[in-house]
Amino acid sequence: MTATSLRGIHSIEDFDLDDQRVFLRCDFNVPISNGVIQDDYRIRAALPTIQYALEKGAKVVLASHWGRPTKALEDRPQFSLEPVARHLNLLLDKEILLLEDPRGEAAKPVLAGLKSSQIVLLENLRFETGEEANDRELAAAWLEFTDIYINEAFGASHRAHASVVALPGLVEKKGIGFLMKKEIEMLETIRSHPAHPFTLVLGGAKVSDKIELIDMLIDKVDVILIGGAMAYTFLKATGHSVGASRVEGDKVKFASELMERMRSRGKKLLVPQDHVVVKDLRDVSSTRVEVGASIMEGWMGVDIGPQTRQLFAEALAESKTVFWNGPMGIFETPEFSSGSFAVAHAMVESSATTVVGGGDSAACALASGVVDRFSHVSTGGGASLEFLQGQRLVGLEALRPPKRSESL
């Protein structure tokens, strides 16, 4: 079944790629520290489309942004896509040329002389001031070496930037890659037609970050499981003491209203019944399990406890669709990661369609060791949430063929 949002939008498979120059906008905005890629999930997610284009004989021009480079030239090396080029070289076992100045004189013959199944990577798109300004002239310069435009950068598709909006606006043959297709199809399932019971698993740092998502999905969900720091605001709303845990005082009312909304509709909202707590975040040796929902004075909740993991696992086992956004605890610290990992395992062991959204949640799914067993782990942080909240993605809209009246 094709997602409604994709109606009228071409897929890379619709085009004859042989000998064509394909501008493949990817999202290689991966964590890099001291030149070393920390997590290549987003790069690997684009490989099927890159490989497909190469197999079909395309001349592949890869493009991506990375980080938020300052305009100072001397800062450029730390924002270079050089580590990405090296990594792609390893993954594809193919030579990849990094074009430092894609619009410069030196690049022209390289781009003009590209052969079928060859591949180049343009240097960080954000080195161009016109990129974030959605500049048409910049897009026109890229058009010089573009026959077909493919958007595979789901994570950047909510931004009106030149490589996402202005360029496809100038190209006739345009469409999406396999990753983009899966992102939209899976998120549309969550948004529009989830199989029931549909369980929403929420965690992370703040209730306020999740309110729009809750509002968007509340009519569809059957069960909400709440962990992470946001759980303490809910516990506070039910009159429990939460010790030194993070609480958003101004969201206590929202929490109690949500619990009431769920209750009155006969739906389940589960909060933690026990916790992993610490006295001092810098001293993990103070870690202990707090039996019971209340937390003692001076202690801080950092993960869901064993009884809660069991409770959540039981709800997940009965689910047919699961959407997860927000880790159950401070999973970046190994001592506080067990709750999130237990929930990840329970999800993949259920027969449900399981979709993970959010940057930290994707990192958590990856660290859980079972990332490949989720139905889908979205590569888009902000983009996936905007899409779920019902917003149109500008990058997707730019791929629709113009309506007849517009093209006259």
For residues 139 and 12, the answer to whether their CB atoms sit within 8 Å is no
Q: Based on the shown chain and the rule CB under 6 A, indicate whether residue 360 belongs to the binding site for ligand ADP.
A: yes
Provide the minimum distance between the beta carbon of 378 and ligand ADP in the complex, in angstroms, as a whole number. 10
Residues in the interface with Mg ion (CB under 5 A) total 2
121/229 with CB nearer Mg ion? 229
Query: Alpha-carbon distance 60 to 23, whole Å?
Result: 6
Joined together, the tokens standing for residue 103 give 């619009």
Host H or E run for residue 253 = helix 252-264
Q: What is the CA radius of gyration of the chain?
A: 23
Contacting residue, 177, 272, 326, 395, with ligand ADP by CB under 6 A: 326
Contacting residue, 100, 135, 209, 349, with ligand ADP by CB under 6 A: 209
Number of H helices, E strands in the chain: 16, 18
Contact set for Mg ion, span 346-385 (CB under 5 A): 359-360
Q: Based on the shown chain and the rule CB under 6 A, indicate whether residue 302 belongs to the binding site for ligand ADP.
A: yes
269/367 with CB nearer ligand ADP? 367
For residues 320 and 197, the answer to whether their CB atoms sit within 8 Å is yes
Provide the minimum distance between the beta carbon of 326 and Mg ion in the complex, in angstroms, as a whole number. 8
Contacting residue, 301, 305, 380, 395, with ligand ADP by CB under 6 A: 301
31/359 with CB nearer ligand ADP? 359
Q: Which of 57, 130, 169, 382 is catalytic?
A: 382
Binding at 152: pick from Mg ion, ligand ADP, none (beta carbon under 5-8 Å per type) = none
Joined together, the tokens standing for residue 125 give 């798109």
Instruction: Say how far residue 149 (Cα) sits from the centre of its chain.
Output: 22
Contacting residue, 55, 95, 260, 332, with ligand ADP by CB under 6 A: 332
- The residue written with tokens 């660290």 in the block is 367
Q: Which of 267, 268, 359, 373 is catalytic?
A: 359
Torsion-angle region of 81 (φ positive above 0: left; ψ -120 to 50: alpha; else: beta): alpha
168/204 with CB nearer Mg ion? 204
* Catalytic site includes residue 359: yes
Residues in the interface with ligand ADP (CB under 6 A) total 20
Q: Which of 206, 246, 267, 279 is catalytic?
A: 206
Provide the minimum distance between the beta carbon of 125 and ligand ADP in the complex, in angstroms, as a whole number. 23
Provide the minimum distance between the beta carbon of 358 and Mg ion in the complex, in angstroms, as a whole number. 6
Closest listed residue to residue 122, CA positions, set 230, 266, 7, 26: 26
Q: Based on the shown chain and the rule CB under 6 A, indicate whether residue 305 belongs to the binding site for ligand ADP.
A: no
Cα angle: 11, vertex 14, 18; to 5 degrees: 115
In the three-class reduction of DSSP (H, G, I as helix; E, B as strand; rest coil), residue 140 is classed as helix
Binding at 366: pick from ligand ADP, Mg ion, none (beta carbon under 5-8 Å per type) = none
Buried residues in 321-336 as b, exposed as e (16+ CB within 10 A): bbbbbbbbbbbeeeeb
* Catalytic site includes residue 35: no
Q: Is the peptide bond before 69 cis (omega within 30 degrees of 0)?
A: no
Q: Based on the shown chain and the rule CB under 6 A, indicate whether residue 380 belongs to the binding site for ligand ADP.
A: no
The DSSP bridge partners found for residue 300 are 278
Closest listed residue to residue 139, CA positions, set 154, 159, 125: 125
Instruction: Say how far residue 294 (Cα) sits from the centre of its chain.
Output: 34
The site map against Mg ion for 120-159 (x = CB under 5 A) is: ----------------------------------------
Q: Based on the shown chain and the rule CB under 6 A, indicate whether residue 395 belongs to the binding site for ligand ADP.
A: no
Binding at 229: pick from ligand ADP, Mg ion, none (beta carbon under 5-8 Å per type) = ligand ADP
Binding at 370: pick from Mg ion, ligand ADP, none (beta carbon under 5-8 Å per type) = none
* Catalytic site includes residue 329: no
Closest listed residue to residue 237, CA positions, set 220, 258, 219, 216: 258
Enter the DSSP assignment of 168.
H
Q: In the complex, which residues of this chain contact Mg ion (CB under 5 A)?
A: 359-360
Residues marked active site are found at 42, 206, 359, 382
Contacting positions for ligand ADP (CB under 6 A): 203-205, 209, 228-229, 246, 301-302, 325-327, 329-330, 332, 358-361, 381
